[in-house]
Amino acid sequence: MSSREEILNSIRGIQKENKFLPDIPNFQLEGDLVELFKSAIEANKGEILSKKEFENWIASTNFQHVISCSEPFHTYATQELPDDAHQLDHLELAILDAQFGVAENGAMWLDDSQLPHRALPFITEHLVLILSKETLVSNMHQAYDRIGSDHSGFGLFIAGPSKTADIEQSLVIGAHGAKSLRVILV
Amino acid sequence: MKKEPHIGLFIPCYVDQFYPQVAIATLELLEKLGCKVSYPLGQTCCGQPLANAGYERDTEGSSLHFIQLFEEFDYIVAPSGSCVLHVKEHFPNHPGKEKSAKSIQKKIFELTEFLTDVLKVENLKGTFQKKVGYHSSCHGLRGLRLASSSELNIPHFNKAKQLLTNLDGLEWVELSRSDECCGFGGTFAITEEALSVQMGKDRLADHLSHEVDVLTGGDLSCLMHLEGIAKREGQKVEFMHIAEILNQAIR
Amino acid sequence: MSHPKAATEFLKDQANSQWHDETLWMIRDKRDASSKSIPEWEELRNLASEIKDNVLSNLDKYLEQFEAQALKNGIKVHWAKDAKEHNEIVLSILQEKNCEAIVKSKSILTEECHLNPYLEKQGIEVVDTDLGERIVQFLQQPPSHIVMPAIHLKKRDISALFHDKLQTEKGNEDPSYLTNAARLHLREKFLASKVAITGVNFGVAETGEFVVCTNEGNADMGVHLADVHIACMGIEKIIPRRKDLGVFLRLLARSATGQPITNYSSHFRSPATGKEIHLVLVDNGRTRQLAREKFKNSLKCIRCGACMNTCPIYRRSGGFSYGSTVPGPIGSILSPGLDMKKYSTLPFASTLCGSCSDVCPVKINIHEQLYEWRQEITKHHGTVGKGLSMKLASGIFKSPLAYQFSGSLMRKVIKSLPESVIYNPLNIWGKSRDLPKAPKESFQDWYKRNRHE
């Protein structure tokens, strides 16, 4: 007998009372979604920028390696997407669209359609996500309602920059992934 | 309450032996509040220490004895959350006595919950001019739900506080860690001596840092542990069971 | 080493044990604040608990559904009945790919299976990429906490370690500096690795996808740069529907650290073009635990670590005192199911205060199961109970106090305190605590004199 059969059979052999699968109520979040989202991002050590603030910021940097997958921000790109994600090692900035945002925790959803390389938001030193205010949902229940049965090979919520507190619980931003997260709310 | 219910006073073994004044205070307090109380003689240990140590199966004799002593009463009241919890949850099954056991488990109350929930005491008139720190025993808190535990997101309540803050002059202290365990834990106090003592020291320090005059609680096992540490350290804080405070205050 | 001994050792360094207690308490405080900002928190806990109950009662069906969906998505699915088979499966994939160095993100399951030493014996370099895990790996230690693997170490320890291993400046203890050194070191490993291993937080039966949560982004850095992703998953990690993730992701990070969500929550459904995903479904004692009526719901655990942070014992004895892969309260109800003899003292490393059960996001009755394990362990006393504290065995139970507690004998025995034979426990009690003064008469005597006719 294969291990698969062995495991499944031993589970089948256990007398189990059938427990119902509950419905999930439609919990709502009180308050202004944009404000809630902003404070969530800030608490996660991200930053919210206007388009203007973004322009000022990028002018103050001297990035040589910028990739944009967001149509209106293509002018900031310095290079095309390489074939191999390993070549992204020196990437300084990635500008990506997010599909929608979640007000309760600042999470933003991206899937393969925003991510020509899945490594992109992680390997880049700095990450800018473009998010439309109109897309904000209140909480994670609504987030999954919104994703619905969309089929993507990969999808993720990004809620902040890469961070760790593994050394004496001191928060350090930029463990392995992006050292900063900026969100441009449009 | 129905007409003249008869209350059986359950005095845990170590209270009987070491803290008779607390048992007397409990009895007098209930009598002052108009209750008819009897203390059935021949009470023994309810079996809790043994059960918590993993020998619940050896507590058949003591629990059967308990059932026989108390089954005739309308209510059973004890000045101990943890012994009440044991009777409610950890009595072994007694074939033929299931009904009595169940009825006992329904009518047994820890003293403060009996006052707030059964007697519905609302306006205790009394005076106690001291700053009081209250130690929530874990079995009372999370077992009997005598207060809202700090982990849960539920409306705040505390039955002991509800009673004590009625008293004129009493200053209730909010602790830094409102309901952390004192480290007594029955046999834990012996088998994990180092941890038990450290937990007790930490709990005591919280009360002392708030400069309490009296450290009180609903379970003498916790208080015995904390007082033992306080005395060894030469601390001046006074220890009283909540029954003693209430009984003294409402003279 | 038994828990009491290890705890006593840990407490000897007062400053360190106090720091450990206060730091974990601070995390519990954050968890409290975070959970109290969600009005429906208790309802979410109920939902999570009910969903997991439903999973456990239909585990076979959900596993089959999960497998079928995963296969449809192009994921290769493997089944391992125990740690040995799990390790062999991982090795065979590595051999097939001619892979000699891998990166691995946090997976308690692979710790449980002792995958690292197994692979290392086969000449494969394993690099744990979670910062805390990399630190303890350098020290050849297991994690002392499932969420914060290096919580037992201070920055001076890590500074010295990194100076030795990563050539950082001697004496530089700045966490940012040290983290950056690890970032550069691990970046090389990420770029070089052909295979990456991750754990799994949730597997969704409905879609065949699985979710991995990190704050560092290390799981994603590993798998997106590698050709092959091996995900190791305990069979209890299944949830029925995608929308159930909404419940669990709201609870997980808030319970773990107080943050509203981990910064990265990645959903893997099918491999990127030209790449592979292997999923290893592992039993390793889980079906045995499922068959134990009193203990099966320990399998609802989502590994948030909240019970460790809240546990007054864990905070003051450290993760290593438990000697088990999963320490703390949840570990003390899981481990005896794996080896009752080895872990016989763990269910006694508790005051049964119940804080673990109240903090648990899936409402596992942890302290009640600790009580139940005690009842089991004492049944085998003498055979498996050898590791059980001898103080417990001889001090309490061989004394008349315990043996003759029933009926009227109890009174006679306790009356002769403290002169009676229960000398040993009293001695232990008295090391740092005074005994109550023996009053002139018992209440019973007083009552007879004053009230009894």
Question: Could you tell me the domains of chain B?
Answer: 6-118 (3.40.50), 131-249 (3.40.50)
- In chain B, residues with a C-beta closer than 8 Å to the C-beta of C3 are 192
Closest CA to B44 of C398, C438, C414: C414
- In chain A, residues with a C-beta closer than 8 Å to the C-beta of C186 are 176
Residue-wise pLDDT for B35-54, tens only, equals 999 999 988 888 998 899 99
Confidence of residue C171 (pLDDT cuts 50, 70, 90): very high
Q: pLDDT averaged over chain C?
A: 91
Question: What pLDDT shows up at residue B149?
Answer: 98
Does 3.10.180.10 match the CATH number of domain A27-185?
no
Q: What is the largest CA-CA distance in chain A?
A: 67
Residues 109-138 of chain C whose Cβ lies under 8 A from any Cβ of chain A? 129-132, 135
Q: pLDDT averaged over chain B?
A: 95
Q: What angle do CA C11, C12, C17 make, to 5 degrees?
A: 40
The residue written with tokens 């994921």 in the block is: C75
Does 3.40.50.2300 match the CATH number of domain C42-132+193-284?
no
- Residue C2 sits at φ, ψ, to 5 deg, of -70, 160
CA distances in angstroms from C267 to A41, B10, C19, C242, listed in the order given: 21, 58, 37, 10
- In chain A, residues with a C-beta closer than 8 Å to the C-beta of C245 are 140, 144
Residues 45-104 of chain A whose Cβ lies under 8 A from any Cβ of chain C? 85-86, 89, 102, 104
The CA distance from A38 to A4, in Å, is 47
Q: Which chain A residue shows the shortest CA-CA distance from C81?
A: A3
Q: A176 and C187: CB-CB below 8 Å?
A: yes
In angstroms, the first-to-last Cα distance of chain B is 24
Question: What pLDDT shows up at residue C394?
Answer: 36
The CA distance from C181 to C169, in Å, is 10
Cβ-in-10-Å burial (0-12, 13-18, 19+) of C251 comes to buried
Domain boundaries, chain A: 27-185
Q: Which chain C residue shows the shortest CA-CA distance from B150?
A: C32
Residues 44-103 of chain C whose Cβ lies under 8 A from any Cβ of chain B? none
Asked whether the predicted pLDDT for residue C406 surpasses 50, the reply is no
Residue-wise pLDDT for C327-352, tens only, equals 999 999 999 999 999 999 999 999 99
Residue-wise pLDDT for A37-50, tens only, equals 999 999 999 999 99
Q: What is the average pLDDT across C144-171?
A: 96
Domain boundaries, chain C: 42-132+193-284, 294-388, 400-450
Confidence of residue B123 (pLDDT cuts 50, 70, 90): confident
In angstroms, the first-to-last Cα distance of chain C is 57
Q: Which chain A residue shows the shortest CA-CA distance from C283?
A: A7
In this prediction, the answer to ipTM > 0.95 reads yes
% of chain B with per-residue pLDDT over 70: 99
Q: What is the average pLDDT across C235-259?
A: 98
